[in-house]
Amino acid sequence: MKNSDRRKQTIRQLLEATKELLRDKGCHAITLKDIMEQSQLSKGAIFHYVKSKDEIFAWVLEERLEAVNEHFEEEVAGSLNKTFDGPMLAISRSLAGLEDSHEATNKVLLYLLGKENEPAVAQALEHFHKRSVSVSRQWITTGQKHGVIKENVNPDETAELFVLLSLGLRVRASLRPSSESVSAKEVSDFMAGILKK
């Protein structure tokens, strides 16, 4: 097996094992030993790719962002007549998961935010934020290019606003919001109102 294939396979095993553990435990309770056992990888194999469990947690965040982006891109590519609704539906579905306090990436984000004073964690959070804004900006400019998003929408400011809203949904999920709270659907509708031509 080539090194690049081995790396992908190992990372996939680490991600899947970590996400499985996150379904049952909080981030604080998960140890590298747990990840080793769940992934069936040796300590050496794990440390060849990562320095800590926090790095694996950061990968879990990144993986979800990239999966949402992939769904968006598939909707754009699959639409013969470029419309707003298909790609926006992909984004709306992802927002709904942000309301779930048990969703793995919500647990991970809160855990990492509590460790933001550690340089490696701060760097991972900064990278995640920058990538989130970049992906959102790409979605907006793609929509503008296809004529389904208003030209006067500022992609930089609007992308930052949308990331802020999504982070707020994630944090609020852990607070057990009341039934009067704004839902992910309402946030999605608000976003669509800003964007749609």
* Residues of the chain under the 70 pLDDT cut: 1, 79-81, 177-178
Residue numbers of the domain that contains 167? 52-195
The residue among 50, 74, 89 that closes a domain is: 50
First-residue to last-residue Cα distance in the chain: 50
For residue 97, what pLDDT is reported?
87
Are 62 and 37 within one domain? no
Q: Are residues 191 and 101 in the same domain?
A: yes
Q: Are residues 63 and 33 in the same domain?
A: no
CATH of the domain at 9: 1.10.10
Inter-residue contact 168 to 181 (CB < 8 Å): no
- pTM of the predicted protein model: 0.89
Question: How much is the pLDDT for 56?
Answer: 95
Per-residue pLDDT at 187:
92
| pLDDT at site 2 | 81
Same domain as 41, residue 99: no
The amino acid sitting at 61 is L
What is the 3 state secondary structure string of 64-91? HHHHHHHHHHHHHHHCCCCCCHHHHHHH
- Counting the structural domains of the chain, the total is 2
Verify that 75 and 161 share a domain, yes or no: yes
Residues 58 and 135 in one domain: yes
The letter for the amino acid at 4 is S
Looking at 11, 33, 50, the residue that finishes a domain is 50
36 shares a domain with 59? no
In a shared domain, residues 16 and 79:
no
pLDDT score of 178: 67
Tokens of 50: 């990562």
* Whether residue 142 sits in one domain with residue 82: yes
Q: Is the domain of 44 the same as that of 118? A: no
Q: Would you state the pLDDT for residue 80? A: 58
